Structure 1
């Protein structure tokens, strides 16, 4: 009888991993559509098509589930390569409208302790990319002005910048993305992306 080498997990473990993933996907889907404070385990279970007690078999508390969601999101976050002035200035054109489409999740990432921890976990890589792009545009800019400019570029290019434009200026992600893109192009001395 041939052995199965394509399935590294025994069936029981594969089913457990499938159920865990299904719970996390349902939780992320819920976070995309509701405010963080309205996040309920029962709703996650309903979206996953399982009993609420099954969720609690995998995650003993709501807080444990939320922590697992953030870890799961963190594992899936891929930062586009933004280490050139052109890439950095062009990114808000697509990122900001996506923030609109995923607003509850983006706000949870901005406003919660877990979201802040998630952002900080990937921040070193983001800061290095921004520094490279700004250094290309301003090769002779000395400190502390260089770091100050990097901080302004970071703010314009962030979900926090998007939320300020949306909340205080009442503009949507498309308009906010164009505004951020044009401002970044000015700061980076390049032609504004279309």
Structure 2
């Protein structure tokens, strides 16, 4: 709350007058962001998931990305090694694709096998570890199939 007050240029007491707790402030911010992004989870249908995800990420991209933790050199080196390996694995099957599409495909594979994603599946979705692994492998196989079938990531409007 002190940081919010300082950033807004008001006394901390003023923030507490409007929001009784940090949770109340965070909830209000999320409602505001959902409204700004024109996103609602009420009535979400499968055919709208990609569109809603695009809106959420498009809106999020307007804010500066600040890493939550300092990058550990060992982890950064391992991540670089994984990026190079994925790009090398994708490249032979994507000769007609643009460099950007090839990089997007490799990056999505990297995202899918991330430990952070696995932790979210187990913690937030309460999946059993084997189900989280099975689901992740399923999604990776779908991306592999798209790559082998020469179906690059869709561009907006296509």
Report the TM-score, using the length of structure 2 for normalisation: 0.44
TM-score using structure 1 length: 0.36
The structure with the greater share of residues assigned to helix is: 1
Higher relative contact order (CA closer than 8 Å, sequence separation 6+): 1
